[in-house]
Structure formats: C-alpha cells, structure tokens
Amino acid sequence: MERERDQGTADADEHPAGLRERRRQETQRELSDAALDLFEQHGVHGTTVDDIARRAGTSQRTFFRYFATKEAAVFASADDSARVVGDAIEAVRAGASVVEGIERSWLKLLDRFDAHPDEHIRALRIRRLVGSEPSLLAVALRNEAEEVEQLTDAAVDAAGADADVLAARAAVSTMALVLRLTIDEWVRRAELNERASVRQIYLEMRRGVATVARDLEADPPHHG
C-alpha cells in the first residue's frame, strides 16, 4: 500500500512537468506556424516579431523565450536537429565511428519524418521560403555549419591524441552533404507529387557517395 502511495505521489510530481513540456512545445509550434504564415504572406522583411507574437496570441517577451530572431522561428524543427546532433555526439564519445554515430541518429529522424506525412507539406513550405528568402537561407546554412563544427569537435575529442582533424571534418562534412542531397531529392520528388521515403532516398544517396569514396581510394591521375 505504501509503495502504491509513493508511486502515486511520483506520478503526480511528474505530471505537471509533462504538461509544462507539452505546452512549451505547443507554444513553440504556434509561434513557428505564425511566422511561416506571415513570411509567406508578407515576406521576412515585411514581418516583425510583434506580428508573429500577435498572430500566435502571445507576447513579444514570450517569443524571445523560444527564438532569438524572427528568422529562427521558422526552424522550430531545429530542436529535433539539436537532439540528433546531441545523440550523435554521445555515440561518438561512447566509441562509435563518426559515420556510425551520425547515421544512427539521423536515420531515427528520417524515420520519424516518413511516419508523419502531415509534416510533409509544412516541410515543403519552409523549403520554398528558404529558397526565396536570403535571410532564411543564411540561417539554414549557419545551423548546418554549427552542427558540422559540433560533430567534428566531438570526433576529435573522442580520438584524443590520435585525432586526425582533417579526416574528422571530411567525414562529418560528407555526411552533412549526403543528408542535404537527400532532402533536395525528396523535395524534387515531392514537388512532382511523387511519393517517396526520405529514408530510402538517403540510402540511395549513401550508395552513390560510397562509390565515389571507393574511387577516391585510388591514386589521383598524373599530369603530363
């Protein structure tokens, strides 16, 4: 009986935290959706943080609890990317190779995307905006560069004195390129109304890069 009361108390203690986290995610998504709608209607330069907060039914102060800039608001899924990068870093520090650590984490993210087709239209809307708004493209490229730096640092730290910084950077940058090409191809097919698994496209891209990597193992051609 005592154990039941203890368990009930524990559940009660955890419940508010779970509600707070769910509400945090909902507010973040509402702000992100508002930014996406307004950017499509008025452009990034024609939209203010106050506009976004007002559309989401909240305040400017609340907005800045979630996002540093109005451009960042569109990339609410950056939280997912941050978790993926964190998981990959932990895997590398635990002894996984750079490729294995990154791939294991990214495949989970791609599988989640495949499993939620309701997110596909939103992803396409964001991609179109990024392609037409230089400030959003700059944020996307900066996010990717920061992830590459974090993963490279983790790989170098894990290798210790034997670290090959150039090799680590090449591995991480190559994996980032494969993912970017995967998303590009998924977008291309989606714009043509072709149903495609982003995981399957990733595996196709992976095979293509592996072929190039095997070719690069040979000595480069000599001039003359």
Q: By the 8 A CB rule, do 104 and 88 touch?
A: yes
Q: Is residue 115 located within the same domain as residue 181?
A: yes
Choice among 3-7, 18-22, 203-207 with the minimum mean pLDDT: 3-7
Q: Is residue 69 located within the same domain as residue 162?
A: no
Name the domain boundary from 73, 98, 120: 73
Q: Is residue 120 located within the same domain as residue 212?
A: yes
Tell me if 148 is assigned to some domain.
yes
Report pTM: 0.79
Q: Which residue has the higher pLDDT, 7 or 212?
A: 212
Q: Is residue 83 located within the same domain as residue 63?
A: no
CA distance 105 to 100: 9
Tell me if 222 is assigned to some domain.
no
Q: Is residue 47 located within the same domain as residue 86?
A: no
What stretch of H or E contains 82? helix 78-93
Tell me if 221 is assigned to some domain.
no
Q: Is residue 68 located within the same domain as residue 85?
A: no
Name the domain boundary from 35, 53, 73: 73
Question: Helices marked H in 43-77 — which ranges?
Answer: 49-56, 60-66, 70-73
Q: Is residue 186 located within the same domain as residue 101?
A: yes
What is the rounded average pLDDT of the residues 43-57?
97
Q: Is residue 139 located within the same domain as residue 191?
A: yes
What pLDDT does 79 receive?
Answer: 61
Q: Is residue 209 located within the same domain as residue 196?
A: yes
Look at the chain and report how many structural domains it folds into. 2
Q: Which residue has the higher pLDDT, 143 or 70?
A: 70
Task: List the domain range (segments joined by +) for residue 112.
Answer: 78-216
Tell me if 170 is assigned to some domain.
yes
Q: Is residue 82 located within the same domain as residue 69?
A: no
pLDDT grade for 51, boundaries at 50, 70 and 90: very high
pLDDT in tens, 113-124: 999 988 899 999
Tell me if 141 is assigned to some domain.
yes
What pLDDT does 78 receive?
Answer: 55
pLDDT in tens, 154-192: 888 877 777 788 888 898 899 999 999 999 999 999 999
Tell me if 223 is assigned to some domain.
no
Q: By the 8 A CB rule, do 91 and 105 touch?
A: yes
pLDDT grade for 11, boundaries at 50, 70 and 90: very low
Q: Is residue 176 located within the same domain as residue 208?
A: yes
Q: Which amino acid is at 144?
A: E
